[in-house]
């Protein structure tokens, strides 16, 4: 099982007409801090969550 690590949780609302996500019906995102991104993704997928294949590796973190 995975859990969010200590730190700030950020809720990032976007404008209603955003094209950031590529779909108009997705106006927000949630970012969770986890110690093992791959394990978290594997657990979510095992629970039936659809996992997007895109990944981002930045100096300030990895995103999926």
pLDDT in tens, 25-58: 776 777 777 888 999 999 999 999 988 888 999 8
Inside any domain, residue 56: yes
Count Cβ neighbours within 10 Å for each residue of 18-40 and write b for 16 or more, e otherwise.
eeeeeeeeeeeeeeeebeebeeb
Inside any domain, residue 14: yes
> pTM of the predicted model, to two decimals?
0.61
Return the pLDDT at 38: 92
d(CA 17, CA 63): 23
Inside any domain, residue 4: no
Task: Give the domain extent around 22.
Answer: 10-63
d(CA 56, CA 54): 7
Inside any domain, residue 2: no
Return the pLDDT at 3: 63
Number of separate domains in the chain = 1
């Amino acid at each position: 099982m995975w859990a969010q690590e200590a730190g700030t949780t950020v809720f990032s609302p976007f404008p209603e007409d955003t094209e950031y996500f590529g779909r108009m019906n997705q106006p927000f995102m949630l970012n969770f801090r986890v110690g093992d991104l791959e394990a978290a993704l594997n657990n979510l997928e095992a629970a039936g969550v659809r996992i997007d294949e895109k990944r981002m590796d930045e100096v300030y973190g990895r995103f999926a």
